[in-house]
Chain A
Amino acid sequence: MEQFRNRIIATLASMDQISGDRLESLRASVDADADFVDLEMDSLTALDFCVGLEDAIGGAIEPADLVEHPSINALARHLAKTRGAPV
């Protein structure tokens, strides 16, 4: 799960649409269980995140996955459960 969690955070940190305090706290891993909704991503940013995460771990990530697994840890747990190790 830790590998997925790190890739999720790295993907978020690489997105210039997510900035300011939220990004800083993500980089510091202080707030690593942030809910995606708290990141205030608009729909295109959420899609960019999904696309970025697909590139980082392989396979398809849909925006609906972020709703069903609404925090960084929840998504990492889901990915760890349903997939092998990240590519």
Chain B
Amino acid sequence: MHDKKESLTIDFAGRKGEMAVRHWPVKQSRGRVLCLHGVGSTGAEFAVLAARLNELGYDVVCPDWLGHGDSDYLLNANAYRWEVYVRSVVVLMKRYNASRMHFLGVSWGGMMLLLYLVGSRFLATSATFVDVPLRMNPALLQSTKGMRILSAAAFDTRDEMEALLYARRPELRDVPENWREYLLEARFARRAGKYVMKYDEAAIGMLEAYGSTQFDNFRALDRFGFECLFLYGRMSPFRDPARFRPYLARYPNLHYSDMLDAAHPPSLLDAHQTAPIEAFLEKVTAAIEA
């Protein structure tokens, strides 16, 4: 699938963890896109989007957060603090910074992206937030219940594991055939003779802890001087048009769409779902290249 596997070391409180990174390079880049996945997923979920963006000339970098996919598991909920995720992005940026730097974060990945961008004061070329709750929402905690069911599952056969995954995420059945095996391989691991999901259950704990706080990150929108797209599926419980409205009126660089025809959470695994992201990046890039 033309991705290069790389690895970066995250150092936190005297402990080190290796973060796996999938890099889809292009020969002549029109910009780099760093894609950050949500809890319970992996960077492989961006494969379809990465292929599309490669065709458009964008270099794409997709890490597996610590506790996910091929990255090290920390096996302790406290080790997955939001501060560690933000540090992970700092480390990623030391390695992958580019003159035209676009970011994309899905769900928890987008929440961490937002915090990184506030704390680093990094002047991004653009940022796309997919299905990202900007304030406390009970649906966030609800989503962790499904993750716990998946993370507790252990089956003798991969078919059983697939059946459970499809029952929780039916839209994954619609993944183009040529990508399916790549994505499933990234989702499943073999441990003690059983098929299990490839993420650390402890990582869910910190999402629950953060999601339990009365967080409200809307004021971060006052700080972003670059092009930002907030994208939500029609069915998303995180749609928040009334709260966005005054910010959209004040800041022309902020864009909001909650009409994505997608399941919840959006999978970004078909051309229909990746199209608004491609269009946004192309608009931003065209303005620079004009």
Q: How far is the CA of A42 from the CA of B215 in the complex (A)?
A: 7
User: In this assembly, does A62 line the interface, its C-beta being within 8 Å of a C-beta of chain B?
Assistant: yes
Query: With contacts A47-B115, A63-B82, A64-B13 known, what are 9 further pairs, Cβ within 8 A?
Result: A42-B213, A42-B215, A44-B215, A44-B220, A47-B119, A62-B86, A63-B115, A64-B83, A68-B12
User: In this assembly, does B81 line the interface, its C-beta being within 8 Å of a C-beta of chain A?
Assistant: yes
**CB pair A67 B13 closer than 8 Å:** yes
Closest beta carbon of chain B to A54's beta carbon, Å = 8
User: In this assembly, does A80 line the interface, its C-beta being within 8 Å of a C-beta of chain B?
Assistant: no
Residue of A nearest to B111 (CB): A43
Q: How far is the CA of A43 from the CA of B214 in the complex (A)?
A: 11
Chain A interface size, as a band, is: 10 to 19
User: In this assembly, does A76 line the interface, its C-beta being within 8 Å of a C-beta of chain B?
Assistant: no
Select which of B12, B118, B210 is within 8 A of A47 by beta carbon.
B118
Q: Which of B202-225 contact A (CB under 8 A)?
A: 210, 213-217, 219-220
**CB pair B84 A43 closer than 8 Å:** no
**CB pair B13 A63 closer than 8 Å:** no
Give the interface of A toward B (CB within 8 A): 42-44, 46-48, 50-51, 60, 62-64, 66-68
Q: Which of A43, A51, A66, A67 counts the most B-chain CB atoms under 10 A from its CB?
A: A43
B-chain residues with CB within 8 Å of residue A66 when the two chains form the complex: 83
User: In this assembly, does B121 line the interface, its C-beta being within 8 Å of a C-beta of chain A?
Assistant: yes
A-B contact pairs, 11 of them (CB 8 A): A42-B216, A43-B215, A44-B217, A47-B115, A47-B118, A48-B118, A51-B119, A64-B12, A64-B86, A67-B83, A68-B12
**CB pair B87 A62 closer than 8 Å:** yes
Q: How far is the CA of A54 from the CA of B235 in the complex (A)?
A: 41
**CB pair B12 A43 closer than 8 Å:** no
User: In this assembly, does B90 line the interface, its C-beta being within 8 Å of a C-beta of chain A?
Assistant: yes
A-chain residues with CB within 8 Å of residue B81 when the two chains form the complex: 64, 67
Q: How far is the CA of A48 from the CA of B213 in the complex (A)?
A: 18
A-chain residues with CB within 8 Å of residue B13 when the two chains form the complex: 64, 67-68
Residue of B nearest to A70 (CB): B13
**CB pair B213 A44 closer than 8 Å:** no
Q: Which of B69-125 contact A (CB under 8 A)?
A: 81-84, 86-87, 90, 115, 118-119, 121
Closest beta carbon of chain A to B219's beta carbon, Å = 6
Q: How far is the CA of A66 from the CA of B84 in the complex (A)?
A: 11
